[in-house]
Structure 1
Amino acid sequence: MTRSRTFEWQDPSVSAAAVGRESGLDFLRSVLGRLPAPPIAATLGFTLEEVESGRAVFVLEPGEEHYNPIGSVHGGVYATLLDSAAGCAVQSALPAGMGYTSLDLSVKFLRPITVDTGKVRAVGTILNQGRRTALAQAELFDSEDRLLAHATSSCMLFPVSPG
């Protein structure tokens, strides 16, 4: 049986123009309120749920649209959630005028996710931050706090010109 899904997103240049104008934490708090979420969040259906300095949490309710051919959530969905959580944990600790980009992401898949898993939560935290790089981790949990996957990410830090 054919299924379909539609979604909408807002102009990503609005948020991109705000990067660097304020601290990373203030920027991410704005994404929770006045700034539009990135289009990837609408595409996959995940949201930034909370952010504080050095920590970011994303949530996703898995659906069939996330499945791979063997009937469970595709590893790329896990990786996207973990990359978002780790990267935003780094961003949350940056001062105004600084940006970041992921240099690598190492993911370990521990348990399968299906629609029966229910809401999952990706929690990113900073492990170490220097002047040029930061190391972060992210953990993916189910509603019973069982660890589903783990990732580490190295991020490059650099000055940005406010849009």
Structure 2
Amino acid sequence: MGRTRTYQWEDPAILAEAAGRMAGIDFLRELKAGRLPGPPINYSIDFTLDEVESGRAVFSLTPGEEHYNPIGSVHGGIFATLLDSAAGCAVQSTLPKGMAYTSLDLTVKFLRRITVDTGTVRAIGTVLSQGRQTALAQAQLVDASDRLLAHATSSCMLFPVPPAQG
């Protein structure tokens, strides 16, 4: 018999609306505290926002078989998702109310294999540089011993949030 996993999520429009009316750090703090529902991706991959401060965001994941690729290790897309989330949210944490971001690129370097035996991993994102229209962030994926497993850089475009309709 095959293995199964079930999960559910809230309407993502709730988050989009909240993000548009709050400063980035406040939005992420509300998300971390559970006062806003997590985004659907957090439930499908099963990772969490653990820390947030201005210019820094940390996510964690405990690898499971559901994250495996066909060769018996965690799929690189899982690494990339964690790194993208950490780098992007580090940028978001610096944005004032009325500003948003989108990732323009993500460059990932995979350094070590991850399996269920690796244990919980953390993606630590930090802002390296920020201007009026773009930001550059990095993220490091580390194990419990702070051994570097993967590294990423991300350029983000910054833009004003359109006014709410209605």
TM-score range (shorter-chain normalised) is over 0.9
1:125 correspondence with 2:134: no
CA apart distance, 1:35: 0.6
Alignment partners' CA distance in 2, 1:62 and 1:70: 15
TM superposition score normalised by structure 2:
0.96
Is 1:63–2:59 an aligned residue pair?
Answer: no
Counterpart for residue 86 of structure 1? 87
Normalised TM-score (structure 1): 0.98
What do you get for the CA RMSD once the two structures are aligned?
0.9
Describe the SS at the equivalent of 2:20: coil
Alpha-carbon distance in 2 for matches of 1:162, 1:154: 25
Runs of 4 or more above 4 Å deviation: none
Provide the secondary structure at the position in 1 that maps to 2:132: coil
In 1, Cα distance between equivalents of 2:152 and 2:32: 24
Tell me what 1:14 maps to.
14
Match of 2:25 in 1: 25
AA of the residue aligned to 1:123: I
Contact 1:18 1:162 in 2 (8 A): no
Please give the secondary structure, in 1, of the residue aligned with 2:113. coil
Match of 1:146 in 2: 147
Q: Deviations over 1:104-130 (max 9, x none)?
A: 000000000000000000000000000
Gaps of 5+ in 2: none
Per-residue CA deviations over 1:73-118 (Å, capped at 9, x if unaligned) read: 0000000000000000000000000000000000000000000000
User: Would the alpha carbon gap of residues 143 and 24 (structure 1) be closer, same or farther in structure 2, given more than 3 Å must change?
Assistant: same
* Paired letter, 2:148: L
Q: Is the 8 A contact 1:25 1:92 kept in 2?
A: yes
Unaligned regions of 5+ residues in structure 1, if any? Answer: none
Question: Greater RCO between the two (CA within 8 Å, min separation 6)?
Answer: 1
**CA separation in 2, counterparts of 1:17 and 1:107?**
30
Aligned length, in residue pairs: 163
Residue 162 of structure 1 deviates from its aligned partner by 5.4
2:36 pairs with 1:4: no
